Copies of this chain bind each other. A is one copy, B any other.
Amino acid sequence: MNPAAPHESTDPGTLSYEQAGVNYDLIDPLKISAQRAAASTATQLAGHGFTEVAASRGESAYVVDVGPFYIASIVECLGTKTLVADEMATLTGRSYYDGIAQDTIAMAVNDLITVGATPLVVQAYWAAGGSDWFGDNARAQALVAGWKKACEVCNVAWGGGETPALAGIVEAGRIDLAASCTGLINPKERLSVGDQLGAGDAIVLLESSGIHANGLSLARKLVERLPQGYLTEVRPGLSYGEALLAPTVLYSPVTEALWKAGIAPRYCANITGHGWRKLLRHPAELTYRIHTVPPVTPVLAFMQQHARQDDREAYSTLNMGAGFAIFVQAEDAERTVEIARAQGIAAWNAGVVEAGPKRLLIEPLGIEFGNDDLQLR
């Protein structure tokens, strides 16, 4: 199996996420029973004099009230983006693990901040297919350097971590990367689990740098359709592989700057798996009307074109240029955009929250997603 091998495709049809190999029907029953079992353990905190923030169940990070502040924690997996990095390293001789490190930290940090937390400590989980993975010194050092740099961007301490060699579980030559993150919601007013989200609020979208780390199964599958595989150009001078490997944007500098400017988001959504359907994440019965669609990142436009997806399919799977959504009071919207831009991250005042049935309307594209299109809880 060589996903980078170019070949002439004969009448390729639409390539969906499920066709690319991820079957949520098999995972979801386990997820549901795990969520129920997990929820039942909340009572364990009472013995310590603490309580969970129940609204954080089903959100992107779990929150516990420990008195003077809330503690948020999370563990997040990078996914299969390393397979692209490994293939591109073979093709170009470069190591991409500095960016991969940033991707991994972004998975954890960008989720943790959705609940209003300031990330404090990141732990590294680097499980290799064998001791020899760590023998490639340039690659290993790139991973270390990128991890350190991403921690600095997010102002978190790198606490430590695990570097097991798991021959027989992780494939030879591969590495399974994840990050855990612990943070504080301090002062407690920073908690944003959406309880104040309501009609009239604005939806600010922050730019993505590309595919980030969701949709990689599809991205890899697509290589089979490309004349030069990963080296096919997305635009002159930029290969598909390089474009895919743009590191995920770290959004915590924006949420921290917002707090310092006195803006408390009503809610945040990290746009990852399920694409823009993540805008429907909050359980409230509300309509989200998008009036301004950010420009589509070139690599995602390229993917949509080659996968022959219509806009509905593309926006339901990929971030399409918007990696993070911040819901703020209408009067804070423009300032939120400015603050994000001051952090070097493009942003758009893209839509409004309205009373109405739970749905997402992407008006410029004529797309509607209903509640049935996202079942995360």
In contact, A144 and B33 (Cβ under 8 angstroms)? yes
In contact, A125 and B75 (Cβ under 8 angstroms)? yes
Does residue A120 face the partner (Cβ distance < 8 Å to B)?
yes
Most chain B beta-carbon neighbours within 10 Å: one of A83, A131, A155, A217: A131
CA distance A166 to B125 in the complex (A): 15
CA distance A161 to B152 in the complex (A): 25
Does residue A148 face the partner (Cβ distance < 8 Å to B)?
yes
Q: Interface readout for A22-61 with B: 1 if CB under 8 Å, 0 if not?
A: 1111110111011101101110110110101000010001
Secondary structure at the A interface, as helix, strand, loop or mixed, is mixed
Contacting residues of chain A (149-182) with chain B, CB-CB under 8 angstroms? 151-152, 155-171, 174-176, 178-180, 182
In contact, A124 and B34 (Cβ under 8 angstroms)? yes
Most chain B beta-carbon neighbours within 10 Å: one of A33, A124, A164, A175: A164
Binds B, one of A64-72, A188-196, A326-334: A64-72
Contacts of A34 in B (CB 8 A): 124, 144, 147, 161, 163
Contacting residues of chain A (53-93) with chain B, CB-CB under 8 angstroms? 57, 61-62, 64, 66-69, 71, 73-77, 79-80, 82-83
**From A133, which residue of chain B is reached at the shortest CB distance?**
B26
In contact, A27 and B176 (Cβ under 8 angstroms)? no
Does residue A375 face the partner (Cβ distance < 8 Å to B)?
no
Does residue A302 face the partner (Cβ distance < 8 Å to B)?
no
Whether A77 contacts B164 in the complex (CB less than 8 A), given A62-B159, A71-B121, A134-B26, comes out as yes
Contacts of A38 in B (CB 8 A): 124, 148, 157-161
Whether A30 contacts B134 in the complex (CB less than 8 A), given A38-B160, A125-B77, comes out as yes
In contact, A73 and B75 (Cβ under 8 angstroms)? no
Binds B, one of A135-143, A306-314, A337-345: A135-143
6 residue pairs, one from A and one from B, having the closest CB atoms: A62-B159, A180-B180, A38-B158, A23-B131, A37-B148, A75-B123
